Structure 1
Amino acid sequence: MRKLVASVIKELLLLIRDWGGLAVLFIMPSILIVIVTLIQNSTFKAVGEAKMPIILVDNDKGDIAKIIERDLKSSSFFEIVSSDNGKMLTEHQARTWVSEGKFQIAIIVPAGLSKQINTRVEENVDKILEQFTGEESNQENTEVENQQKWKPQEIVIYFDPAAGQTFRNSVKNTIDKMVAEIESSKVYEIFQEKMDINVAQELSNNSLLSFKEIIAQQGKDAVIPNAVQHNVPAWSLFGIFFIIIPLASNIVKEKNSGTFIRLRTSPVSYTLILTGKIITYSLICLLQFSLMLLIGIFIFPYLGLIPFDTGNRLIEMFIIALCSGLSAIGLGILIGTIARTQEQTAPFAAILVIILAALGGVWVPTFIMPEFMQKISVLTPMNWGLSSFYDIILRNSSLLQVYPNLLFLLSFFILILWLSVFYNNKRNSI
């Protein structure tokens, strides 16, 4: 036991003297978690909570245009801009501003839209009522002429050239739905003039279909996902896996300085040396994770972010962090065992962690990855850890429900550690 404690103290002293390693382990993840969360939180608000300013040019001045403007203002997505310094905007000016990137959308309501739609809807209602009453119209020639003159009105939408196709389709679908509702309401209004008002009013006020949005969660105290709930566990894992760099570097330094040979010639087994490293860096991983939680809980509110809510799942989260840390420690030991110089170790370990983070869903959520990338993602240890955090924090799962991912992490650690011991014994036996 005394030898194990001495081994742990030795590893701690190596870390304390390595200022660059301490910066990688604590300062870099702390800065990243704050910066990335602030950026993603602003993006989420721009898409979901904040209203997007759009230009509305009303060349119609009729009731249809007023309904469109009212519905756009009442929408949770758009903020209407129709004038500049008290002067009404023109189509040319709106198009210029959108092309320059000042606005992403401009909607142009054509002149005569209200009059033409009202006339057309009234004609269609009259035809329907004639079929029920059996009366024949005496204005067939007039109707034919009106049909020949009728041309569908076009509401022009200008988009910023930088706007993506998905964004354009989303906006067009929203406006199409809005216009369809306006057309339906005009039909009901015309029927109100032709039929009994009470009946028509009842028809116009009753909706046949509605939507109810529910977050599919297990239990009643699950947390609704947001940028904070993603970034705290994600960048905590990123920092935990960066432990590979100082761990591998210290192993290489021991080999090159002769320290490792002196340790092997002393009455200390190689297993005890590795155990000392595993215990030391496991404590560092838990300390890292604690720092990330403290930043999410206490620092984020001062930055205008939502505080991180652990949901009374601290024990489960620390177990996941420990299992993830063990898999990172295994990788660090393997790289340090194989590498011969520190010049090889640091860049390779850094690139490996970045690749694992990209594949694991730390930077980009896995559900928006291509299908073949999603299949690759589930084979990475960082994805196992992140998925476990999601299940615990967002889906209110228990450790028994996430045990497959924890088993993968521990199996990965045991396999990598065995490879390290096997390679080390083979090399020393030559």
Structure 2
Amino acid sequence: MTALKALVRKDLILYLNDKRALLLHLLMPVVLAAFFGSLFGGAGGGANTGKIDIGLVQQDQGAIGQKIAEGLKAESSLRVAELSLEEAQSRVREGKLAVAVVIPSGFGETAGTALFSAGGKPEIPMFYDPSQSTVLAMVKGLLTQQVMQTVSAEMFGGATGRQFTDTSLKALEGERSNDPDAAALHDLLGSLQKFQAHEDKLAGGSGKGQAGLSMPFSTKDEALSSGPKYNGYAHSFAGMSVQFILMMGIDIGISILLARRMGIWSRLLAAPLSQSQILLSRAISGALISLGLLAAIFLCGVLIFKVEISNLPGFVVVGAAFALMTASFGLLIAAFGRTPEAARGMAVFATLIMVMLGGAWVPSFVFPEWMQAATVVIPTRWAVDGLDAVTWRGLGMDVALRSAAVQLAFAAAFAGLAIWRFRRQQA
């Protein structure tokens, strides 16, 4: 036991004296977590979300077209720049604008007519960056709202609507006796004409009625979570911690391969130490370093970025399981790696795949459904989800224990494969 403690102490001292490793494994995850966390909304849970830049090509100078443009500019989620058609297309092609909207000449009048007929409807050309299809859908929704409100208001209470009603009624006078559809439309427009006259009277003859359709509902948004108020930094600290601590696990395996190359491993085996003791010491020291790094990284998150750990015992359980999984992953790299250079390349690649599929960069719930189901076999998925559960989600010990149990199962599998490989090589 004394020899084991000495080996563990030696590994810890060597790691702490390596300032470059400390900088990489502690400072880098904090910096990257701060960056990604700000993208996810920061401590305000969306307070830092920026406006969407869109271009507007205003070719319709009529009242309806101008009001649609004013409505788009008044949207709090949009930043609208009026451009020429050529400039708008150029900016979208260059990726400087997500979407450009063209309100063509005569759109207002044609749209008003189409509101009461099944004929051809005017088109609004929209140019968009192919990587911004989600933004396109959002802009379409806002544009639909503005067009419906503006066109209906003008047709029910504006000068264009009154002119359309008078003209249409005259055109339908001779058709309604033979065409039931024309008769029905004539009755509808006749009622609309009376309504317009009433609104005009209320407006004092100014022609500026109050009528018009508007969205028949509004939404009341309420964020629900079992834990504290959502903090965009919480998931980022979980993901970046998992990534860089796994990178440290790679160093555990590479250090064993380097010790073999330099003959240090042979000298250790020649001492009154068994191979099991040497491997166990590396696993213990690696797990302690991993757990210490995890605690230090989240301490920065708590003190600087207001990340809250809602379930401290659960955090310790999940963190300890992840630390053991990291240490066993390092032993697996040493067991199957032939040279330090080749092993590092393959291990970094495998780690990046696990981190990406585990939801460390972006939350796993944004993955396609089939990918969410497939990634349950990735150990990092359980680590990230477990850390999310005990921080901003505020879930109980049952979730933390489930996450820890799966990680420990992976740790046992990695360690078992590593020990089998080491024994086979020794034999």
What TM-score, normalized to structure 2?
A: 0.75
> Which residue in 2 is equivalent to 1:320?
318
- 1:172 and 1:205 map into 2 onto residues whose CA distance is 18
Of residues 84, 89, 102, the one that matches 1:108 is 102
Q: 2:229 aligns with which of 194, 219, 223?
A: 223
2:55 counterpart SS class? strand
What is the match of residue 156 of structure 1? 125
1:31 is displaced (CA, Å) by 4.5
Match of 1:74 in 2: 74
Once the 2 structures are TM-superposed, how far is the Cα of residue 334 of structure 1 from its aligned partner?
1.9
- Give the Cα–Cα distance (whole angstroms) in 1 for the partners of residues 418 and 149 of structure 2: 67
Equivalences for 1:412-423 in 2 at 5 Å?
Answer: 412-423=410-421
Query: Equivalents in 2 of 1:230, 1:363: separation in Å?
Result: 9
Matched, 1:193 2:196: yes
Q: Is the Cα contact below 8 Å between 1:51 and 1:77 reproduced in 2?
A: yes
1:46–1:52: 8 Å Cα contact kept in structure 2?
A: no
Offset of residue 411 of structure 1 = 1.4
Per the alignment, residue 135 of structure 1 pairs with none
> Which amino acid is the alignment partner of residue 193 of structure 1?
Q
Q: CA deviation at 1:387?
A: 1.0
**Does the CA contact (< 8 Å) of 1:223 and 1:394 recur in 2?**
yes
Residues 60 and 108 in structure 2, CA contact (< 8 A), matched pair in contact too:
yes
Tell whether the 8 Å contact from 1:244 to 1:349 is kept in structure 2 after alignment.
no
Q: CA deviation at 1:8?
A: 1.4
Deviation at 1:424, TM superposition (A): 2.3
What SS does the corresponding residue of 1:108 show, helix, strand or coil? strand
From 356, 359, 378, the counterpart of 2:357: 359
Question: Contact (CA 8 Å) 1:237, 1:321: kept in 2 or not?
Answer: no
The answer (yes or no) to whether the contact 1:223–1:311 under 8 Å persists in 2 is: no
CA distance in 2, matches of 1:207, 1:17: 65
Give the match for residue 177 of structure 1.
145
- Provide Cα deviations, 1:91-134, integer angstroms capped at 9, x if missing partner: 4554455455554433333344445555676xx5xxxxxxxxxx
Assess, with a 3 A threshold, how the Cα gap between structure 1 residues 378 and 223 changes in structure 2: closer, same or farther. Answer: farther
CA contact (8 A) 2:290 2:326 kept: no
* Deviation readout 1:232-284 (Å, 9 max, x if unpaired): 11000111111222211222233344444444454444444333323322221
CA drift of 1:63 comes to 3.2
* Letter aligned with residue 139 of structure 2: V
Q: How many correspondences in the alignment?
A: 384
Residues 8 and 276 in structure 1, CA contact (< 8 A), matched pair in contact too: yes
| Paired residues for 1:181-260 under 5 Å | 181-186=149-154, 188-189=156-157, 191=192, 192-194=195-197, 208-218=216-226, 221-224=227-230, 226=232, 228-260=233-265
Deviation at 1:328, TM superposition (A): 1.0
Unmatched 5+ stretches in structure 1: 83-88, 125-146, 300-306
Kindly tell me: are residues 188 and 20 of structure 1, through their superposed partners in 2, closer, same or farther at Cα, counting changes over 3 Å?
same
Say whether the 8 Å CA contact 1:48–1:77 is kept in structure 2: no
- Cα deviation 1:291-347 (Å, max 9, x = unaligned): 322443455xxxxxxx24214434432332221111111111122133343233322
CA contact (8 A) 2:245 2:294 kept: yes
CA distance in 2, matches of 1:32, 1:324: 20
Worse-matched range after superposition: 93-102 or 245-254? 93-102
* Residue type at the aligned position of 1:11: D
Q: Take 1:246 and 1:383, find their aligned partners in 2: how far apart are those partners?
A: 21
How much is the aligned-residue C-alpha RMSD, in angstroms?
A: 3.7
Q: Secondary structure at the match of 2:80?
A: strand
Equivalent residues in 2 for 1:17-416, closer than 5 Å: 18=18, 21-37=21-37, 49-82=49-82, 90-99=84-93, 101-115=95-109, 124=116, 152-157=121-126, 159-161=127-129, 163-186=131-154, 188-189=156-157, 191=192, 192-194=195-197, 208-218=216-226, 221-224=227-230, 226=232, 228-298=233-303, 307-416=305-414
C-alpha displacement at 1:358, in angstroms?
A: 1.7
CA–CA separation in structure 2 for the residues paired with 1:257 and 1:77: 61
Query: Could you tell me how far apart the structure 1 residues matched to 2:59 and 2:323 are?
Result: 63
What amino acid sits opposite 1:222 in the alignment? P
Residue matched to 2:174: none
Gaps spanning 5+ residues in structure 2: where?
162-191, 203-208
**In structure 1, what is the Cα distance between the partners aligned to 2:114 and 2:264?**
92
Structure 2 counterpart of 1:86:
none
Identity in percent: 23
- The answer to whether the 8 Å contact 2:60/2:105 transfers is yes
Structural mapping, 1:4-19, within 5 Å: 4-16=4-16, 18=18
TM-score of the aligned structures, taking structure 1 as reference length: 0.75
Question: Aligned-pair distance for 1:409?
Answer: 0.4
Give the AA of the match of 1:354: L
SS at the partner of 2:56? strand
Give CA-to-partner distance per residue, 1:122-159, whole Å, 9 cap, x none: xx5xxxxxxxxxxxxxxxxxxxxxx89x86433333x2
In structure 2, the CA distance between the partners of 1:332 and 1:293, relative to structure 1 (3 Å rule), is same
Report SS of the residue matched to 1:54: strand
Q: Match of 1:235, as an amino acid?
A: M
1:223 touches 1:309 (CA, 8 Å); kept in 2? no
Work out the CA distance in 1 between the residues paired with 2:91 and 2:248: 49
Q: Deviations over 1:50-75 (max 9, x none)?
A: 22333334443443224313321231
The answer on whether the counterparts of 2:8 and 2:281 sit within 8 Å (CA) in structure 1 is: yes
Q: CA deviation at 1:384?
A: 0.6
